[in-house]
Amino acid sequence: MYIGEIATRCGVSVKTVRHYEAIGLLSDIKRLGSYRIYENADVEFVTLIKRAQLLGLSLAQLKQLKIGRHDLDWPAVMALLEEKKQQVLIDITALEQQKELLDFYHRDIKICLDNQVLG
């Protein structure tokens, strides 16, 4: 399939597919003259890249984890995902604390406003 088709099937732009190739995430793409010819495995790999990005992995991290044309160092991926999960848990705790503080100030301001109306 040509670049436009892989882009459409993966829900990315042609520019994105070219970028993945330029930075080495997509490699050894077959050519027919000046046209790139992509395979189903390329579609699966671009889809994997998109999913990894949704989880917060950067393209640079994915490039470091790439060990073959369409393969990643899966034990290293698992370790990185565990790190991400731990950071998310830390972020959740911080956000819960921030919410409690917002609730406190909201109640405090409401009490002050209610006292002004009554006073």
pLDDT in tens, 65-90: 999 888 899 999 999 999 999 999 99
pLDDT band at 116 (very low <50, low <70, confident <90, very high): confident
* pLDDT at residue 69, as a whole number: 87
**Of 55, 72, 89, which marks where a domain is finished?**
72
Indicate whether 10 and 66 sit together in one domain. yes
Indicate whether 64 and 108 sit together in one domain. no
Indicate whether 89 and 31 sit together in one domain. no
In this structure, what CATH number is given to the domain that contains residue 62? 1.10.1660.10
* Mean per-residue pLDDT over the chain, rounded: 94
CA-to-CA dists, residue 41 to 45, 48, 98, angstroms:
6, 10, 44
Indicate whether 54 and 25 sit together in one domain. yes
Mean pLDDT of 13-30: 95
Indicate whether 56 and 98 sit together in one domain. no
pLDDT band at 53 (very low <50, low <70, confident <90, very high): very high
* pLDDT, tens digit (0-9, with 9 covering 90-100), for 92-110: 999 999 999 999 999 999 9
**Which residue segment(s) compose the domain that 2 sits in?**
1-72
Indicate whether 56 and 79 sit together in one domain. no
Total domains, the chain: 2
Indicate whether 9 and 66 sit together in one domain. yes
Indicate whether 51 and 83 sit together in one domain. no
Indicate whether 13 and 66 sit together in one domain. yes
Indicate whether 41 and 64 sit together in one domain. yes
Indicate whether 56 and 112 sit together in one domain. no
Of the candidates 39, 18, 27, the one whose C-alpha atom is nearest the C-alpha of residue 66 is: 27
* pLDDT at residue 119, as a whole number: 63
b or e along 41-59 (b: 16 or more beta carbons within 10 Å of the residue's beta carbon)? ebbebbebbeebeeeebee
pTM: 0.77
* pLDDT at residue 68, as a whole number: 86
